[in-house]
């Protein structure tokens, strides 16, 4: 006997953007990028974005170092718990590297990381791979994060590039690697906001996520996040954002009213059946 298991629904109100930086001790004879299985993670940046019932976004940015791989992996799993993982090519690289690292550590109980890494490509509710989505799952030639963000006017890779991570690591400059990784997750979040708004036909989603993130970035007083405080058409984005928050509040109020009405009916029915 088989049981139907309903597919989980992608939660666009609870996100965790993931990116990792790695080193690789082997070089390819043709100078190509080494296969993912040869890479060792150095840092992972996770940008969480959670929207409440009133349309207010709360953001947090954390970068973990892999000096202790087990501790780092457990922290990544904690931050992914209950949130949809957003990545750029994470399905083919970041999550593969993290899963292999966990296996090397004999660390098999990482349910949130495993769920994001192993869900079906086309039916994933726990992992939204932006690189996969924008290419039509391989229908179009893939674009780099730099190319996509350049076209959309999103700041990206302003201080370093992935090819420089090895040299930075050899110099012991982990802080520079962290800053670079953090700017990548910021850029990925903003690029995701464009794509998701197009999919849903909801410009308010892009506006609220982009404008509120810009305000959050400004409040961090960190040089590498400062470019993300500068958004185009801030007044228009703010207007759409506030309208989206109003719609969310009204929808939430309606749901509360419906719930109260249902409880009142249930109570009345209960009294009638009691007699």
Are 146 and 157 in contact by the 8 Å Cβ rule? The answer is yes
Report in angstroms the alpha-carbon separations of 118 from 70, 91, 113, 184, 265. Answer: 20, 9, 9, 23, 44
By mean pLDDT, which of 97-106, 215-224, 230-239, 245-254 is the weakest?
A: 245-254
Q: What is the DSSP letter of 122?
A: S
Which residue has 């997750």 as its token pair? Answer: 185
Beta bridge partners of 20: 44
Q: Domain 14-201: which topology?
A: Nucleotidyltransferase; domain 5 (3.30.420)
Answer yes or no: is pLDDT of 214 > 50: yes
Residues 42, 169: Cα–Cα separation, whole Å: 8
Residue 260 pLDDT more than 70?
A: no
Residue 74 and residue 46: Cα distance in Å, rounded? 13
Helix (H) or strand (E) holding 58: strand 57-65
Give the separation between CA 195 and CA 191, rounded to whole angstroms: 7
- With cut-offs at 50, 70 and 90, classify the pLDDT of residue 181: very high
CA angle 215, 84, 113 (to 5 degrees): 120
- Band of the pLDDT at 265, cuts 50, 70, 90? very low
| Contact predicate 211/236, CB 8 Å | no
Per-residue pLDDT reduced to its tens digit, 14-29: 999 999 999 998 888 7
Q: Which residue has the higher pLDDT, 246 or 115?
A: 115
By three-state DSSP, how is residue 132 classified? helix
Q: Are 128 and 86 in contact (CB under 8 A)?
A: yes
Report which of 59, 63, 14, 12 is spatially closest to residue 180, judged by C-alpha positions: 63
**123-134 confidence digits (pLDDT tens):** 788 999 999 999
Q: Are 20 and 57 in contact (CB under 8 A)?
A: no
Given a cut of 50, whether residue 269 has pLDDT beyond it is: no
CB neighbour list of residue 71: distance below 8 Å, 6 or more residues apart: 64
> Mean pLDDT in the chain?
86
- Average pLDDT value for residue range 66-78: 98
186-198: pLDDT as tens digits: 999 999 999 999 9
Full-model pTM? 0.85
More confident call, 230 vs 70: 70
pLDDT above 50 for 164: yes
């Amino acid at each position: 006997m088989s049981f139907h298991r309903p597919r989980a629904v992608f939660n666009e109100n609870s996100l965790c953007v993931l990116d990792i930086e790695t080193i690789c001790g082997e070089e390819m004879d043709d100078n190509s990028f080494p296969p993912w299985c040869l890479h060792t993670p150095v840092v992972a940046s996770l940008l969480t974005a959670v929207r409440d019932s009133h349309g207010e976004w709360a953001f947090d940015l954390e970068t973990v170092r892999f000096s202790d791989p087990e501790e780092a992996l457990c922290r990544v799993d904690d931050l992914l718990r209950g949130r949809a993982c957003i990545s750029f090519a994470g399905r083919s690289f970041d999550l593969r590297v993290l899963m292999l690292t966990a296996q090397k550590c004999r660390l098999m109980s990482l349910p949130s990381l495993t769920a994001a890494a192993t869900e079906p490509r086309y039916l994933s509710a726990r992992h939204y791979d932006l690189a996969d989505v924008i290419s039509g799952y391989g229908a179009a030639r893939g674009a780099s994060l730099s190319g996509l963000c350049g076209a959309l006017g999103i700041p990206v890779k302003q201080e370093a590039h992935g090819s420089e991570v090895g040299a930075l690591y050899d110099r012991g400059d982990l802080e520079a690697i962290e800053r670079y990784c953090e700017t990548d997750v910021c850029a990925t979040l903003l690029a995701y906001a464009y794509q998701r708004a197009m999919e849903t036909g909801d410009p308010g989603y892009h506006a609220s996520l982009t404008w509120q993130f810009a305000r959050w970035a400004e409040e961090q007083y960190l040089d590498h996040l400062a470019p993300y405080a500068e958004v185009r058409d801030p007044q228009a984005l703010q207007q759409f954002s506030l309208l989206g928050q109003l719609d969310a509040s009204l929808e939430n109020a309606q749901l509360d009213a419906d719930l109260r009405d249902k409880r009142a009916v249930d109570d009345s029915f209960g009294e009638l059946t009691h007699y």
